[in-house]
Structure 1
Amino acid sequence: MDTSPIRLLIHGASGRMGQALLRLAAEQPAVYQTVAAVTRRAPAQRVVDGVPHFAASELAGVPDFDVAIDFSLPEGFDPVLALCTDRGRALVSGTTGISTVQQEALAAASVRIPLVWATNFSLGVAVLADVVERVASALPGWDVDIVESHHVHKKDAPSGTALTLGQAAGSAGAQVHYASLRAGDIVGEHTVQFAGLGERIELTHRATHRDVFARGALHVARVLSGRPPGAYHVRDLLD
Protein backbone atom coordinates (compact mmCIF):
# COMPACT_ATOMS: atom_id res chain seq x y z
CA MET A 1 0.00 0.00 0.00
CA ASP A 2 1.40 3.37 -1.05
CA THR A 3 1.71 5.69 1.94
CA SER A 4 3.38 8.56 0.08
CA PRO A 5 1.82 12.01 0.59
CA ILE A 6 -0.77 13.05 -1.96
CA ARG A 7 0.76 15.56 -4.36
CA LEU A 8 -1.46 18.64 -4.58
CA LEU A 9 -1.77 21.43 -7.09
CA ILE A 10 -3.55 24.39 -5.48
CA HIS A 11 -5.19 26.47 -8.22
CA GLY A 12 -6.33 29.90 -7.03
CA ALA A 13 -3.65 29.93 -4.36
CA SER A 14 -3.78 33.67 -3.67
CA GLY A 15 -7.44 33.66 -2.61
CA ARG A 16 -8.79 33.06 0.89
CA MET A 17 -9.52 29.42 0.20
CA GLY A 18 -6.19 28.92 -1.56
CA GLN A 19 -4.30 30.39 1.39
CA ALA A 20 -6.23 28.20 3.83
CA LEU A 21 -5.50 25.11 1.74
CA LEU A 22 -1.78 25.89 1.64
CA ARG A 23 -1.67 26.44 5.40
CA LEU A 24 -3.70 23.36 6.36
CA ALA A 25 -1.93 21.05 3.91
CA ALA A 26 1.43 22.17 5.34
CA GLU A 27 0.25 21.09 8.80
CA GLN A 28 -0.07 17.47 7.57
CA PRO A 29 3.13 16.74 5.63
CA ALA A 30 2.67 12.98 6.01
CA VAL A 31 -0.62 13.21 4.12
CA TYR A 32 -0.26 16.13 1.68
CA GLN A 33 2.59 17.59 -0.36
CA THR A 34 1.81 20.78 -2.25
CA VAL A 35 3.92 20.59 -5.41
CA ALA A 36 2.51 23.72 -7.07
CA ALA A 37 0.57 26.83 -6.07
CA VAL A 38 -0.97 28.62 -9.05
CA THR A 39 -2.05 32.26 -8.96
CA ARG A 40 -3.71 34.42 -11.58
CA ARG A 41 -0.83 36.90 -11.72
CA ALA A 42 2.92 36.27 -11.76
CA PRO A 43 4.06 35.43 -8.21
CA ALA A 44 6.29 37.86 -6.34
CA GLN A 45 8.32 34.88 -5.08
CA ARG A 46 8.94 31.64 -6.93
CA VAL A 47 9.14 29.53 -3.78
CA VAL A 48 7.22 30.30 -0.58
CA ASP A 49 7.64 28.03 2.45
CA GLY A 50 9.03 25.35 0.17
CA VAL A 51 6.11 25.44 -2.28
CA PRO A 52 6.83 26.37 -5.94
CA HIS A 53 4.54 29.14 -7.23
CA PHE A 54 3.40 29.57 -10.81
CA ALA A 55 1.33 32.09 -12.75
CA ALA A 56 -1.84 30.83 -14.42
CA SER A 57 -0.16 31.40 -17.78
CA GLU A 58 2.48 28.82 -16.74
CA LEU A 59 -0.05 26.13 -15.81
CA ALA A 60 1.11 23.71 -18.50
CA GLY A 61 4.59 23.64 -16.95
CA VAL A 62 3.68 22.65 -13.39
CA PRO A 63 5.22 19.43 -12.01
CA ASP A 64 3.28 16.20 -11.82
CA PHE A 65 0.54 15.99 -9.20
CA ASP A 66 -2.13 13.58 -8.00
CA VAL A 67 -5.03 15.98 -7.36
CA ALA A 68 -5.69 19.58 -8.35
CA ILE A 69 -7.80 21.60 -5.90
CA ASP A 70 -9.35 24.55 -7.70
CA PHE A 71 -10.91 27.58 -6.01
CA SER A 72 -10.46 30.21 -8.70
CA LEU A 73 -12.67 32.14 -11.12
CA PRO A 74 -14.79 30.84 -14.01
CA GLU A 75 -12.27 32.18 -16.53
CA GLY A 76 -9.53 30.11 -14.91
CA PHE A 77 -11.59 26.93 -14.71
CA ASP A 78 -11.21 25.63 -18.28
CA PRO A 79 -7.37 25.47 -18.25
CA VAL A 80 -7.16 23.50 -14.99
CA LEU A 81 -9.88 21.09 -16.12
CA ALA A 82 -8.01 20.58 -19.40
CA LEU A 83 -4.73 20.03 -17.53
CA CYS A 84 -6.25 17.37 -15.27
CA THR A 85 -7.91 15.65 -18.21
CA ASP A 86 -4.74 15.66 -20.32
CA ARG A 87 -2.63 14.26 -17.45
CA GLY A 88 -5.26 11.88 -16.13
CA ARG A 89 -5.28 13.51 -12.70
CA ALA A 90 -8.14 14.04 -10.26
CA LEU A 91 -9.86 17.42 -9.85
CA VAL A 92 -11.59 18.91 -6.82
CA SER A 93 -13.25 22.23 -7.66
CA GLY A 94 -15.25 24.73 -5.66
CA THR A 95 -15.16 27.46 -8.30
CA THR A 96 -18.63 29.01 -8.47
CA GLY A 97 -20.39 30.76 -11.32
CA ILE A 98 -19.32 28.32 -14.01
CA SER A 99 -21.45 28.27 -17.15
CA THR A 100 -23.65 25.54 -18.59
CA VAL A 101 -20.96 24.85 -21.18
CA GLN A 102 -18.40 24.41 -18.40
CA GLN A 103 -20.76 22.09 -16.54
CA GLU A 104 -21.04 20.03 -19.72
CA ALA A 105 -17.23 19.95 -19.98
CA LEU A 106 -17.10 18.63 -16.40
CA ALA A 107 -19.51 15.84 -17.28
CA ALA A 108 -17.43 14.93 -20.33
CA ALA A 109 -14.20 14.95 -18.30
CA SER A 110 -15.70 12.62 -15.66
CA VAL A 111 -15.48 9.79 -18.18
CA ARG A 112 -11.69 10.09 -18.06
CA ILE A 113 -10.85 11.33 -14.54
CA PRO A 114 -12.34 11.27 -11.03
CA LEU A 115 -13.68 14.69 -10.10
CA VAL A 116 -15.80 16.59 -7.62
CA TRP A 117 -17.41 19.97 -8.22
CA ALA A 118 -19.37 21.32 -5.27
CA THR A 119 -20.78 24.59 -3.95
CA ASN A 120 -19.77 23.68 -0.40
CA PHE A 121 -17.05 21.34 0.91
CA SER A 122 -18.19 21.28 4.52
CA LEU A 123 -18.55 17.63 5.52
CA GLY A 124 -21.42 18.65 7.79
CA VAL A 125 -23.32 20.15 4.86
CA ALA A 126 -22.75 16.94 2.88
CA VAL A 127 -24.39 14.96 5.69
CA LEU A 128 -27.18 17.54 5.94
CA ALA A 129 -27.98 17.20 2.22
CA ASP A 130 -28.34 13.44 2.65
CA VAL A 131 -30.63 13.91 5.65
CA VAL A 132 -32.72 16.53 3.82
CA GLU A 133 -33.31 14.17 0.93
CA ARG A 134 -34.40 11.37 3.25
CA VAL A 135 -36.73 13.61 5.25
CA ALA A 136 -38.31 15.04 2.10
CA SER A 137 -38.87 11.51 0.81
CA ALA A 138 -40.44 10.40 4.09
CA LEU A 139 -42.74 13.45 4.39
CA PRO A 140 -44.35 14.08 0.99
CA GLY A 141 -46.60 17.11 0.86
CA TRP A 142 -44.93 18.99 3.70
CA ASP A 143 -43.88 22.59 3.15
CA VAL A 144 -40.13 22.98 2.70
CA ASP A 145 -38.37 26.30 3.29
CA ILE A 146 -34.65 27.04 3.29
CA VAL A 147 -33.36 30.12 5.11
CA GLU A 148 -29.71 31.01 4.55
CA SER A 149 -27.64 33.74 6.21
CA HIS A 150 -24.25 35.09 5.11
CA HIS A 151 -22.02 38.12 5.55
CA VAL A 152 -22.99 41.45 4.02
CA HIS A 153 -20.48 41.15 1.15
CA LYS A 154 -21.98 37.99 -0.34
CA LYS A 155 -23.77 38.94 -3.56
CA ASP A 156 -25.51 35.80 -4.80
CA ALA A 157 -28.80 34.80 -3.27
CA PRO A 158 -29.91 32.15 -2.61
CA SER A 159 -26.47 30.79 -1.85
CA GLY A 160 -25.09 27.88 -3.83
CA THR A 161 -25.33 25.73 -0.71
CA ALA A 162 -29.00 26.60 -0.27
CA LEU A 163 -29.66 25.59 -3.86
CA THR A 164 -27.79 22.33 -3.34
CA LEU A 165 -29.92 21.57 -0.28
CA GLY A 166 -32.98 22.53 -2.29
CA GLN A 167 -31.99 20.11 -5.03
CA ALA A 168 -31.67 17.36 -2.42
CA ALA A 169 -35.23 18.03 -1.24
CA GLY A 170 -36.47 18.50 -4.80
CA SER A 171 -35.09 15.12 -5.86
CA ALA A 172 -37.63 13.63 -3.45
CA GLY A 173 -40.46 15.66 -5.00
CA ALA A 174 -40.57 18.60 -2.59
CA GLN A 175 -41.38 22.14 -3.69
CA VAL A 176 -38.78 24.38 -2.05
CA HIS A 177 -38.98 28.07 -1.08
CA TYR A 178 -35.93 30.18 -0.22
CA ALA A 179 -35.17 33.18 1.99
CA SER A 180 -31.79 34.95 2.18
CA LEU A 181 -30.32 37.21 4.88
CA ARG A 182 -27.11 39.26 4.58
CA ALA A 183 -25.79 40.58 7.90
CA GLY A 184 -22.52 41.25 9.68
CA ASP A 185 -19.72 38.74 9.18
CA ILE A 186 -21.78 35.53 9.22
CA VAL A 187 -19.67 32.79 7.60
CA GLY A 188 -22.65 30.67 6.64
CA GLU A 189 -25.85 29.38 8.19
CA HIS A 190 -28.50 27.21 6.53
CA THR A 191 -31.80 26.05 8.02
CA VAL A 192 -34.10 23.63 6.21
CA GLN A 193 -37.61 23.70 7.66
CA PHE A 194 -40.20 20.98 7.04
CA ALA A 195 -43.68 22.04 8.16
CA GLY A 196 -46.78 19.87 8.40
CA LEU A 197 -50.09 20.31 10.19
CA GLY A 198 -49.30 20.90 13.85
CA GLU A 199 -45.62 19.96 13.66
CA ARG A 200 -42.34 21.20 12.26
CA ILE A 201 -38.79 19.91 11.76
CA GLU A 202 -35.80 22.26 11.50
CA LEU A 203 -32.37 21.10 10.34
CA THR A 204 -29.59 23.67 10.75
CA HIS A 205 -25.91 23.83 9.85
CA ARG A 206 -23.71 26.71 11.05
CA ALA A 207 -20.17 27.34 9.85
CA THR A 208 -18.18 29.49 12.25
CA HIS A 209 -14.84 29.46 10.42
CA ARG A 210 -13.94 29.25 6.73
CA ASP A 211 -11.33 26.59 7.45
CA VAL A 212 -14.13 24.00 7.50
CA PHE A 213 -14.42 24.33 3.71
CA ALA A 214 -10.67 23.95 3.16
CA ARG A 215 -10.51 20.95 5.49
CA GLY A 216 -13.38 19.36 3.62
CA ALA A 217 -11.71 19.94 0.24
CA LEU A 218 -8.50 18.35 1.52
CA HIS A 219 -10.45 15.37 2.85
CA VAL A 220 -12.19 14.97 -0.51
CA ALA A 221 -8.86 15.19 -2.37
CA ARG A 222 -7.39 12.47 -0.17
CA VAL A 223 -10.30 10.07 -0.63
CA LEU A 224 -10.74 10.88 -4.34
CA SER A 225 -7.10 10.17 -5.19
CA GLY A 226 -6.85 6.80 -6.90
CA ARG A 227 -10.60 6.43 -7.46
CA PRO A 228 -11.84 5.37 -10.92
CA PRO A 229 -13.14 8.08 -13.28
CA GLY A 230 -16.50 9.55 -12.44
CA ALA A 231 -18.36 12.59 -11.14
CA TYR A 232 -18.49 12.24 -7.36
CA HIS A 233 -20.33 14.20 -4.68
CA VAL A 234 -18.82 15.20 -1.35
CA ARG A 235 -21.23 12.86 0.42
CA ASP A 236 -19.89 9.96 -1.67
CA LEU A 237 -16.46 10.52 -0.10
CA LEU A 238 -17.19 10.88 3.61
CA ASP A 239 -15.42 7.65 4.62
Structure 2
Amino acid sequence: MKLGILGASGRMGQAVMALARQSDIAVTAAIVSQQSNRYGELVRANDAGAGLQYQHASDLKSNQVEILIDFSLPQALPDNLALAKKLSVPIVVCTTGLSQQHHHELNHAAQSIPVLYAANTSVGITLLRQLVELTAAALPDTDIEIFEAHHNKKRDAPSGTAVVLGESAARGRGQTLKDVSAGVRGDGVRKSGTIGFSVMRAADIIGEHTVLFAHEGERLELTHRVSNRQIFARGAIQAAQWLKEQPSGYYEMADVLALNTLLKQFI
Protein backbone atom coordinates (compact mmCIF):
# COMPACT_ATOMS: atom_id res chain seq x y z
CA MET A 1 0.00 0.00 0.00
CA LYS A 2 1.44 3.35 -1.07
CA LEU A 3 0.43 5.72 1.72
CA GLY A 4 0.40 9.50 1.71
CA ILE A 5 0.21 11.35 5.02
CA LEU A 6 -1.28 14.85 5.21
CA GLY A 7 0.10 16.73 8.20
CA ALA A 8 3.16 14.48 8.19
CA SER A 9 5.27 16.72 10.44
CA GLY A 10 2.77 16.73 13.33
CA ARG A 11 2.56 14.38 16.31
CA MET A 12 0.21 11.95 14.64
CA GLY A 13 1.83 12.15 11.23
CA GLN A 14 5.12 11.15 12.85
CA ALA A 15 3.41 8.34 14.79
CA VAL A 16 1.87 6.92 11.60
CA MET A 17 5.24 6.98 9.82
CA ALA A 18 6.94 5.27 12.76
CA LEU A 19 4.34 2.51 12.80
CA ALA A 20 4.43 2.10 9.02
CA ARG A 21 8.16 1.34 9.33
CA GLN A 22 7.23 -1.73 11.39
CA SER A 23 4.63 -2.89 8.86
CA ASP A 24 4.61 -3.81 5.19
CA ILE A 25 3.45 -0.29 4.28
CA ALA A 26 5.37 2.22 2.21
CA VAL A 27 4.94 5.88 3.11
CA THR A 28 5.41 7.36 -0.34
CA ALA A 29 4.34 10.95 0.42
CA ALA A 30 4.93 13.04 3.55
CA ILE A 31 2.77 16.08 2.89
CA VAL A 32 3.06 19.40 4.74
CA SER A 33 2.15 23.01 4.04
CA GLN A 34 4.57 25.16 2.08
CA GLN A 35 5.00 27.27 5.24
CA SER A 36 6.19 24.28 7.28
CA ASN A 37 9.79 24.41 8.47
CA ARG A 38 10.03 20.75 7.43
CA TYR A 39 9.13 21.46 3.79
CA GLY A 40 11.90 20.09 1.56
CA GLU A 41 13.69 18.22 4.36
CA LEU A 42 14.45 14.51 4.18
CA VAL A 43 12.13 12.26 6.20
CA ARG A 44 14.50 10.60 8.64
CA ALA A 45 11.78 8.46 10.23
CA ASN A 46 11.19 6.53 7.01
CA ASP A 47 13.86 3.82 6.72
CA ALA A 48 12.11 2.11 3.80
CA GLY A 49 11.88 5.28 1.69
CA ALA A 50 15.40 6.59 1.22
CA GLY A 51 15.28 10.07 -0.25
CA LEU A 52 11.66 10.75 0.74
CA GLN A 53 11.17 14.45 1.42
CA TYR A 54 8.46 16.46 3.12
CA GLN A 55 6.53 17.91 0.21
CA HIS A 56 3.52 20.04 -0.60
CA ALA A 57 0.41 18.49 -2.16
CA SER A 58 1.11 20.34 -5.40
CA ASP A 59 4.43 18.45 -5.69
CA LEU A 60 2.78 15.02 -5.78
CA LYS A 61 3.43 12.92 -8.86
CA SER A 62 0.74 10.81 -10.52
CA ASN A 63 0.39 7.34 -8.95
CA GLN A 64 2.61 8.37 -6.03
CA VAL A 65 -0.06 7.38 -3.49
CA GLU A 66 -2.91 4.87 -3.33
CA ILE A 67 -4.55 6.28 -0.20
CA LEU A 68 -4.29 9.35 2.04
CA ILE A 69 -4.45 9.71 5.82
CA ASP A 70 -5.21 13.26 6.99
CA PHE A 71 -3.90 14.40 10.37
CA SER A 72 -3.60 18.06 9.39
CA LEU A 73 -5.74 21.08 10.42
CA PRO A 74 -9.44 21.78 9.77
CA GLN A 75 -8.72 24.70 7.44
CA ALA A 76 -6.80 22.35 5.13
CA LEU A 77 -9.69 19.90 4.72
CA PRO A 78 -11.24 21.38 1.53
CA ASP A 79 -7.88 21.26 -0.25
CA ASN A 80 -7.16 17.76 1.07
CA LEU A 81 -10.50 16.44 -0.17
CA ALA A 82 -9.93 18.13 -3.53
CA LEU A 83 -6.53 16.41 -3.70
CA ALA A 84 -8.03 12.99 -2.97
CA LYS A 85 -10.69 13.51 -5.64
CA LYS A 86 -8.10 14.72 -8.16
CA LEU A 87 -5.99 11.61 -7.55
CA SER A 88 -9.09 9.35 -7.30
CA VAL A 89 -7.82 7.79 -4.06
CA PRO A 90 -9.57 7.06 -0.74
CA ILE A 91 -8.95 9.35 2.22
CA VAL A 92 -9.06 8.69 5.97
CA VAL A 93 -9.76 12.00 7.73
CA CYS A 94 -8.68 12.11 11.38
CA THR A 95 -8.69 15.88 11.85
CA THR A 96 -10.77 17.17 14.77
CA GLY A 97 -12.48 20.50 15.32
CA LEU A 98 -14.50 20.28 12.10
CA SER A 99 -17.47 22.56 11.42
CA GLN A 100 -20.84 21.63 9.94
CA GLN A 101 -19.57 22.92 6.60
CA HIS A 102 -16.61 20.56 6.83
CA HIS A 103 -18.94 17.61 7.43
CA HIS A 104 -20.98 18.67 4.42
CA GLU A 105 -17.78 18.65 2.35
CA LEU A 106 -16.92 15.15 3.62
CA ASN A 107 -20.30 13.84 2.55
CA HIS A 108 -20.03 15.54 -0.83
CA ALA A 109 -16.58 14.05 -1.48
CA ALA A 110 -17.92 10.60 -0.51
CA GLN A 111 -20.12 10.67 -3.58
CA SER A 112 -17.05 10.18 -5.77
CA ILE A 113 -14.38 8.56 -3.57
CA PRO A 114 -14.25 6.41 -0.39
CA VAL A 115 -14.11 8.74 2.63
CA LEU A 116 -13.72 7.63 6.25
CA TYR A 117 -14.04 10.18 9.03
CA ALA A 118 -12.81 9.33 12.50
CA ALA A 119 -12.39 11.95 15.22
CA ASN A 120 -10.66 9.15 17.12
CA THR A 121 -9.26 6.02 15.47
CA SER A 122 -8.83 3.86 18.57
CA VAL A 123 -10.76 0.61 18.79
CA GLY A 124 -11.66 1.40 22.41
CA ILE A 125 -13.34 4.72 21.57
CA THR A 126 -15.24 3.11 18.71
CA LEU A 127 -16.65 0.56 21.14
CA LEU A 128 -17.25 3.24 23.80
CA ARG A 129 -19.49 5.16 21.40
CA GLN A 130 -21.73 2.11 21.09
CA LEU A 131 -21.80 1.61 24.86
CA VAL A 132 -22.67 5.29 25.45
CA GLU A 133 -25.57 5.15 23.01
CA LEU A 134 -26.92 1.98 24.64
CA THR A 135 -26.53 3.39 28.16
CA ALA A 136 -28.24 6.66 27.27
CA ALA A 137 -31.18 4.73 25.86
CA ALA A 138 -31.41 2.53 28.97
CA LEU A 139 -31.06 5.45 31.42
CA PRO A 140 -33.12 8.27 29.87
CA ASP A 141 -33.46 10.38 33.03
CA THR A 142 -29.83 10.67 34.09
CA ASP A 143 -27.67 13.78 33.92
CA ILE A 144 -24.93 13.28 31.33
CA GLU A 145 -21.54 14.96 31.62
CA ILE A 146 -18.59 14.29 29.30
CA PHE A 147 -15.11 14.97 30.70
CA GLU A 148 -12.05 15.09 28.46
CA ALA A 149 -8.37 15.83 29.07
CA HIS A 150 -5.58 16.42 26.53
CA HIS A 151 -2.12 17.95 26.25
CA ASN A 152 -1.68 21.70 26.49
CA LYS A 153 -1.02 22.13 22.74
CA LYS A 154 -4.43 20.88 21.63
CA ARG A 155 -6.34 23.59 19.78
CA ASP A 156 -10.02 22.58 19.88
CA ALA A 157 -12.28 22.15 22.92
CA PRO A 158 -14.25 20.11 23.61
CA SER A 159 -12.31 17.51 21.67
CA GLY A 160 -13.73 15.94 18.54
CA THR A 161 -13.96 12.66 20.42
CA ALA A 162 -15.95 14.28 23.24
CA VAL A 163 -18.34 15.71 20.66
CA VAL A 164 -18.96 12.35 18.97
CA LEU A 165 -19.51 10.77 22.40
CA GLY A 166 -22.09 13.49 23.03
CA GLU A 167 -23.68 12.69 19.68
CA SER A 168 -23.84 9.03 20.66
CA ALA A 169 -25.52 9.89 23.97
CA ALA A 170 -28.05 12.15 22.26
CA ARG A 171 -28.76 9.54 19.60
CA GLY A 172 -29.48 6.97 22.30
CA ARG A 173 -32.26 9.28 23.52
CA GLY A 174 -33.60 9.99 20.05
CA GLN A 175 -32.20 13.53 20.08
CA THR A 176 -29.54 15.54 18.25
CA LEU A 177 -26.63 16.98 20.20
CA LYS A 178 -27.10 20.55 18.97
CA ASP A 179 -30.54 20.58 20.60
CA VAL A 180 -29.39 19.36 24.04
CA SER A 181 -25.74 20.39 24.36
CA ALA A 182 -24.91 22.66 27.30
CA GLY A 183 -21.43 23.25 25.86
CA VAL A 184 -18.47 23.52 28.21
CA ARG A 185 -20.20 24.00 31.54
CA GLY A 186 -19.59 27.05 33.66
CA ASP A 187 -21.63 28.89 36.28
CA GLY A 188 -25.36 28.42 36.74
CA VAL A 189 -27.87 25.68 37.51
CA ARG A 190 -27.75 22.66 35.26
CA LYS A 191 -30.71 22.51 32.89
CA SER A 192 -32.47 19.14 33.00
CA GLY A 193 -31.95 16.92 29.96
CA THR A 194 -28.82 18.64 28.69
CA ILE A 195 -25.45 17.08 27.93
CA GLY A 196 -22.56 18.99 29.48
CA PHE A 197 -18.84 19.01 28.69
CA SER A 198 -15.85 19.49 31.00
CA VAL A 199 -12.39 20.17 29.55
CA MET A 200 -8.83 19.99 30.86
CA ARG A 201 -5.61 20.90 29.02
CA ALA A 202 -2.36 20.05 30.77
CA ALA A 203 1.22 18.92 30.11
CA ASP A 204 1.52 15.87 27.84
CA ILE A 205 -1.81 14.06 28.43
CA ILE A 206 -2.49 12.06 25.27
CA GLY A 207 -6.23 11.60 25.70
CA GLU A 208 -8.78 10.75 28.39
CA HIS A 209 -12.57 10.66 28.06
CA THR A 210 -15.24 9.84 30.63
CA VAL A 211 -18.99 9.82 30.05
CA LEU A 212 -20.85 10.13 33.35
CA PHE A 213 -24.51 9.12 33.80
CA ALA A 214 -25.79 10.34 37.17
CA HIS A 215 -29.01 9.65 39.11
CA GLU A 216 -29.67 10.87 42.62
CA GLY A 217 -27.74 8.42 44.78
CA GLU A 218 -25.71 6.64 42.09
CA ARG A 219 -23.69 7.20 38.95
CA LEU A 220 -22.21 5.18 36.12
CA GLU A 221 -18.93 6.23 34.47
CA LEU A 222 -17.60 4.89 31.17
CA THR A 223 -13.94 5.81 30.75
CA HIS A 224 -11.28 5.45 28.07
CA ARG A 225 -7.64 6.46 28.57
CA VAL A 226 -4.75 6.41 26.12
CA SER A 227 -1.14 6.04 27.26
CA ASN A 228 0.49 5.56 23.85
CA ARG A 229 -0.14 7.66 20.73
CA GLN A 230 0.51 4.61 18.54
CA ILE A 231 -3.01 3.44 19.40
CA PHE A 232 -4.35 6.17 17.10
CA ALA A 233 -1.73 5.48 14.43
CA ARG A 234 -2.57 1.77 14.43
CA GLY A 235 -6.27 2.52 14.06
CA ALA A 236 -5.64 4.98 11.21
CA ILE A 237 -3.54 2.45 9.30
CA GLN A 238 -6.14 -0.28 9.91
CA ALA A 239 -8.81 2.06 8.60
CA ALA A 240 -6.71 2.89 5.52
CA GLN A 241 -6.11 -0.77 4.71
CA TRP A 242 -9.84 -1.45 4.99
CA LEU A 243 -10.98 1.65 3.10
CA LYS A 244 -8.69 0.94 0.16
CA GLU A 245 -10.93 -2.00 -0.76
CA GLN A 246 -14.26 -0.15 -0.46
CA PRO A 247 -16.40 1.59 -3.08
CA SER A 248 -17.14 5.31 -2.96
CA GLY A 249 -19.11 6.30 0.14
CA TYR A 250 -18.95 7.69 3.66
CA TYR A 251 -17.60 5.40 6.38
CA GLU A 252 -16.72 5.42 10.09
CA MET A 253 -14.53 3.28 12.36
CA ALA A 254 -17.58 1.22 13.34
CA ASP A 255 -17.71 0.04 9.71
CA VAL A 256 -14.04 -0.99 9.82
CA LEU A 257 -14.67 -3.07 12.94
CA ALA A 258 -18.10 -4.32 11.77
CA LEU A 259 -19.45 -3.35 15.21
CA ASN A 260 -23.04 -2.92 14.07
CA THR A 261 -23.08 -6.49 12.75
CA LEU A 262 -21.45 -7.76 15.94
CA LEU A 263 -23.93 -5.96 18.23
CA LYS A 264 -26.90 -7.46 16.40
CA GLN A 265 -25.77 -10.87 17.64
CA PHE A 266 -26.30 -9.75 21.26
CA ILE A 267 -29.34 -7.46 21.03
TM-score when scaled to structure 2? 0.79
Describe the shift of the 1:150–1:81 C-alpha distance in structure 2 as closer, same or farther (beyond 3 A): same
Local SS of the residue matching 1:107 = helix
How far off is 1:60 after superposition? 4.4
How far off is 1:62 after superposition? 5.1
Indicate whether 1:27 and 2:22 are aligned.
Answer: yes
Match of 1:40 in 2: 33
Separation in 1, partners of 2:155, 2:70: 21
Describe the shift of the 1:127–1:57 C-alpha distance in structure 2 as closer, same or farther (beyond 3 A): closer
Range moving further from structure 2, 173-182 or 156-165: 173-182
Separation in 1, partners of 2:223, 2:75: 33
For structure 2, the residue ranges without an aligned partner over 5 or more in a row are 174-192, 259-267
Match of 2:225 in 1: 206
How far off is 1:125 after superposition? 0.6
Give the alignment's Cα RMSD to 1 decimal. Answer: 2.1
Separation in 2, partners of 1:158, 1:67: 29
Separation in 2, partners of 1:10, 1:227: 19
TM-score when scaled to structure 1? 0.88
- Residues 150, 204 of structure 2: 8 Å contact kept: yes
AA of the residue aligned to 2:220: I
* Paired-residue identity, %: 40
Q: Which has the higher strand share?
A: 1
Range moving further from structure 2, 53-62 or 167-176: 53-62
Describe the shift of the 1:57–1:9 C-alpha distance in structure 2 as closer, same or farther (beyond 3 A): closer
Separation in 2, partners of 1:11, 1:62: 16
Local SS of the residue matching 1:115 = strand
What number of residue pairs does the alignment pair up?
232
Deviations 1:114-156 (A, max 9, x none): 1112221111111101110111112212211111122233343
AA of the residue aligned to 1:235: A
2:201 to 182, 187, 195: 182
For structure 1, the residue ranges without an aligned partner over 5 or more in a row are 1-5
How far off is 1:68 after superposition? 0.4
Local SS of the residue matching 2:115 = strand
How far off is 1:157 after superposition? 2.3
